[in-house]
Structure 1
Amino acid sequence: MAPDEAVIGCTGELVIGTRGSAGPGEVLVRIRGGSETFLAWSDEPLPHGAAVLVIESRGSRQVDVIKWADPLDALAGDGAGNAG
């Protein structure tokens, strides 16, 4: 099956943690106006509930992911924009 280019760059949440080279987990990705699940592979184990970024599609509903921290979350937590 051909890679799904649309999923690359999407963020998601692990519903089953990954085990690094020992095996995949499962990620729920916000895509195409909804949510879809994919088998998720990562270089290092990532826990259930981790926010991830899809960096590659392997086809057959399998993706490579890395841990993701939304940079806008850091801005929201620094007090910027709050009236004082």
Structure 2
Amino acid sequence: MTRFVGLDLTPFHSATGISSPLSAEPEEFLDRTIGFTINYTKEDPYDPRELSEIPEIRLWFVRLDAAYPWLPVLLDWRAGELARYAAMLVPHQVTI
């Protein structure tokens, strides 16, 4: 089971080779696209929430967006990554 540990962006850094917001040159990455695979096991298998409704996951994406505001340009739009990414940033009303 993979858990998001705080707001640690190390998984993003490892997967993309972008080590920090200050060292990244977006132009270097324009010839490739980025997509996300989220490995998250819900504690309650009957939890009806989608991944974008789980606060830990959403906060990680909000942190990622704050650090790399140009990231949507690099997402694989044809595979629907922009829509998935936006869903993580849009506030949801969750009732439990």
TM-score tier, shorter chain, comes to under 0.3
Bigger share in helix: 2
Q: Which has the higher contact order (CA 8 A, sep 6+)?
A: 2
Bigger share in strand: 1
TM-score by length of 1: 0.24
